[in-house]
Amino acid sequence: MLATGGAGFIGSRVVAKLLEHGYEVDVVDDFSTGDMDNLPTHPRLRVFRHDITDAGGLEDMVAGVEAVLHMAAIPTVPECEKNVKRAFEVNVKGVENIAKACVNTGVKRVVFFSSAAVYSASGVVGEESPVKPLSVYGYTKLVAEEMLRCLNEQKGIDTTVLRIFNVYGRLKLGKGSLGVVDQFIADALSTGCLKIYGDGEQVRDFIHVDDVAEAVLKAVEMAGRGHRVYNIGSGEGVSIAELAQLVQQTVGTRKINVIHLPSRPKDIKHSVADVSKAARELGFRPRLNLKTYVQQRAGG
């Protein structure tokens, strides 16, 4: 198994899950946001420092692996809006490089980390909901999805797309940006000030990183299905204002101030996953609870 971006926040938890289940894993990461400290020392783990925008050497890395898990990306809307050129280099050209390497070396399966940002609809979205991204980030993910669909149709490589919703569960700050759950907890415990962009009525579907890792394992174990797309979320919506209130109530021992900043551009108002397809076809059901996590992290 080869995992690009495997030293990142989500990627490292996926790698740990695969190792627990007996897989040999090669990690390819440029360590721009990933961290070697995220990875265990393990006899079935090898790590390569490489930027996926450089096609040179990729064929040697993917040759002979059972599947490629492609997680490397510029992972947030603000980062992609700030540097559109780099976003396309990594999120689109990088996928093309991986796809070509798989074709040329006979790799039969690719599991791709996409995003809820591909959807244009507001509300509960299923895999058949309209896709018309509002952001550069979402657009790069959708272009990559289409490339992989064509890879399946033209080359017969099994391609699984996981549209990941809002992930939380970062146990240490490290490199890279924090999602809003972990950012709120970190800010509440340090500065006592929570920053909300807009009115706070934006609704999000929060899923723990360990549930994401479990979903990836199930996708890896599902073979021979052609091209498949799955939402990976909790299936439940929580507003940013409700999340802030939960953190405030949990910390309890000090006053927590909430300040409202201007709304972020390209921000979807309401985004919740219909996860019935993943439950039906992958047997995936999230186990971890947002409220319990906040109470453990912020209340301790």
3-class secondary-structure state, position 206: strand
The number of angstroms, rounded, from the C-alpha of 172 to the middle of its chain's C-alpha atoms is 17
Active-site residue, selected from the candidate residues 23, 119, 137, 168: 137
3-class secondary-structure state, position 173: coil
Can you tell me the distance from the alpha carbon of 32 to that of 169, in angstroms, rounded to the nearest whole number?
A: 20
Can you tell me the distance from the alpha carbon of 99 to that of 51, in angstroms, rounded to the nearest whole number?
A: 15
DSSP one-letter string for 5-60: TTTSHHHHHHHHHHHHTT--EEEEE--SS--GGGSPP-TTEEEEE--TT--TTHHH
How far CA 34 is from CA of 6, 84, 102, 193, in Å, comes to 8, 21, 23, 27
How far CA 228 is from CA of 111, 144, 148, 253, in Å, comes to 10, 14, 10, 47
Can you tell me the distance from the alpha carbon of 75 to that of 35, in angstroms, rounded to the nearest whole number?
A: 15
Can you tell me the distance from the alpha carbon of 162 to that of 103, in angstroms, rounded to the nearest whole number?
A: 21
Residue with tokens 């020392």: 41
With contact defined as beta carbons under 8 Å apart, do 134 and 82 qualify?
A: no
With contact defined as beta carbons under 8 Å apart, do 200 and 260 qualify?
A: yes
Can you tell me the distance from the alpha carbon of 272 to that of 129, in angstroms, rounded to the nearest whole number?
A: 12
Active site residue 137: yes
Q: Give the active site residues.
A: 137
